[in-house]
Chain A
């Protein structure tokens, strides 16, 4: 089992530790609900060093890296980061990633821990004439998320992070070193991601935690926060059988360049419709529960949890092809089962509005 640089810090903070994608990581410190609410109201710290970070460099990087990504990276500005997909030949999602344009001929791609080996193999297989640098050898990542995250960073790190707007990054001097900081994250709200050299990770974590507006949050809150913001999780909403169009993110497929999976998508890239569920009670839809309308099995839940903000169950799921998305549905463990949860089916924007999430 692998650990991150901060493993002992998590243990000392009393975290409940779990195995996530082969890493021993904190599930929770004080409790998922407290950490979730703290992140929505103040500032939460997440150790996200388990994620895959790879740098690509060379004169052919735009075409070589670009051919495995759904967006056109050639027209990205330096200092911009964007969310997009790596597809297989069939148009199914191999991974969802954030790409940073570091300079004209240099990019960084940050992807899921759960797909790390597969995706690094894919890079080596597909990308030619380009230097591939595995930044996991020397970089960690800490996410600083919540409405007070900017104030905290300005005060604690003594630099002007207010120059960053959403999905922009810059290089800041932190603890005497140059670090990438981006205005981005996985909570739907305001927040930053800091890339830090492994020797400085512990000092940065401790410095930020000393501020009384800051508390650590674990993977439990990370999951409930992303669900409340209607953000997908690889392995649940996204997998190799699912296309960006299925997941409601066709806007992240740019046909102005050629990439692996493009032809398959052009021959019909939508086989199901993503839906967002809000339970009428505190009971939550759960992974693989069925979605029923008029007692007919019309789809399935991919993720679900209790929303600490809405005080109701929430979920994400898919409705099968050819079936109109209903306004209401019943979510059930099995068609005849004890568990039957009445839900409203809402657009993602409505879920975010209900949860009061602001950037």
Chain B
């Protein structure tokens, strides 16, 4: 199960990669493997304000639907259309091509509420 260094993680298995005031957000390899074949994803539209651990979107596999929660607060400034059209890329490349949204972060210190890669590795080992 891959975990990327220098990303931050939520208990609900979302990740955020922080680049200055922007956060690229996706779901983890653990989440994508647990869900199985991902068949649908819908993320809050560009311009929407989201709050940390608040609703960001919906992700579905053949069998189940789950909510996606935002790891950070801010405004959605970009959505990955490729993942919407071909959601299977979230299974194959959860940390790269399968990203979900870019959020203009309103509070950069919020990452202290998230897990580091080391902490997340430990967390999923115990699930």
Contact = CB atoms under 8 A, between A and B. Distances in A.
Contact of B36 (A28, A282, A313, A339): A28
Interface string A218-244: 001001100000000000000000000
A contact patch SS:
mixed
Contact of A282 (B40, B55, B63): B40
Interface string A19-37: 0000000011001110010
Nearest to B87: A282
Contacts of A224: 62-63
Contact of B40 (A33, A36, A306): A306
Interface string A86-104: 0000000000000000000
A283 B61 CA distance: 9
Contacts of B49: none
B65 interface: yes
B39 interface: yes
A33 to B, nearest CB: 5
Contacts of A284: 39-40, 60, 65
B1 interface: no
Q: How large is the interface on A (under 10, 10 to 19, 20 to 34, 35 or more residues)?
A: 20 to 34
A313 B40 contact: yes
Contacts of A338: 55, 58
Contacts of B78: none
Contact of A306 (B39, B42, B55, B58): B39
B127 interface: no
A33 B62 contact: yes
B37 A32 contact: yes
A305 B62 contact: yes
A281 interface: yes
A119 to B, nearest CB: 26
Interface string A298-327: 000000011010000100000000000000
B contact patch SS:
strand
B64 A306 contact: no
Contacts of A50: none
Interface string B33-51: 0001101101000000000
Contacts of A286: 64-65
A220 B65 contact: no
A220 B58 contact: no
A281 B63 contact: no
Nearest to B88: A33
Interface string A27-59: 110011100100000000000000000000000
A313 to B, nearest CB: 7
Nearest to A36: B62
B36 A283 contact: no
Given A338-B55, A338-B58, A282 B64 contact: no
Contact of A339 (B61, B65, B87): B65
Interface of A: 16, 27-28, 31-33, 36, 220, 223-224, 281-284, 286, 305-306, 308, 313, 338-339
Closest 3 CB pairs of A and B: A306-B39, A282-B40, A32-B62
Interface of B: 36-37, 39-40, 42, 55, 58, 60-65, 87
11 contacts: A16-B36, A27-B36, A33-B62, A220-B63, A282-B39, A283-B58, A283-B60, A284-B39, A284-B40, A306-B62, A313-B60
